[in-house]
A = this chain, B = another copy of it.
Amino acid sequence: MELEQLRQLVAVKRYGTISAAAQELHISQPSLSRSIHRLEQDLGQELFNRSHNSVSFNDAGELALRHAERILADVRLMEDDFDEMSRQQRSLRIASVAPAPIWRLTALTVERYPGTLLEPVLTSEAEAESQLINRAADMAILLKPTALPTLHSIPLMTEDLFVNVPVSNPLSERTSLSFADLNGQSFLIMHDIGFWMDVTRQKIPDSRLVQQTDRGVFIQLVRTTDMLCFTTNAPENTGPIEGRISIPLVDADAHATYFLVAPRDGAQRVLDIVSWVEQQTANAH
């Protein structure tokens, strides 16, 4: 008796006829018919009331079906366990202070190690570094190189903040702005932007911040309201929007340099990725 035969039995029950089941299973009708016959021989019992034109389950068939479903459920449990195990082995936990460097890191990683799965967590800089030390994260993305000798830091990318202004707004005339110019204006702002949220709260404390979790809704609101919003030079950001212009911010806090940090004794995959990223960012210069 084979598991495939049990799956076939379940399929025949589900689709009513051998023909229909065979179609669903992507095998020929005679093949399925024979396979079911083999199962009956193995079990020493007819499983169907047969006419030349149809099959219906008899008592033995229903019994076999119950057993089959139980066995197949167990098999699925096993397969799920192993799928989960593979997934965990392929995945690396990334603690980052911002989303943009995660996008960059993900792009670089899938290019060179397509099997790898990154599990990003946005958090504070201190927490990210501590997760790295606790082995709760495999890599971290911080705003400065770490001082700890057990960790290795390499520059990953820079990100510059812009403010996106409707042309109807007087600020749109300016070629550069500082946070001081913006304080008090209403801002549309995305959720989960990491440390940028801290910068915003600190630098424009009097502004009303309208947070959005859904990117589609966010963009829709940007298009249809007069509220300001931030963008950056990260390539994943939205392109130009009609009736709006992006103006660079001159403040030092509007410029971030991200560093990829990993334990020097990390897993081989981690070391591989770090050196690959190092090489790629070096080439980019």
Contacts and interface: CB of A to CB of B under 8 A. Distances in A.
Interface residues of A, number: 23
A86 B45 contact: yes
A25 to B, nearest CB: 17
From DSSP, what is the main secondary structure of chain A's interface residues? helix
B44 A86 contact: yes
A70 B76 CA distance: 12
Contacts of A110: none
A276 to B, nearest CB: 24
B60 A85 contact: yes
A217 interface: no
B78 A67 contact: yes
A90 to B, nearest CB: 10
A74 interface: yes
A78 B86 contact: no
A273 B179 CA distance: 103
Contact of A64 (B1, B71, B78, B86): B78
B3 A85 contact: no
Interface of A: 1-3, 43-45, 60, 63-64, 67-68, 70-71, 74-75, 77-79, 81-83, 85-86
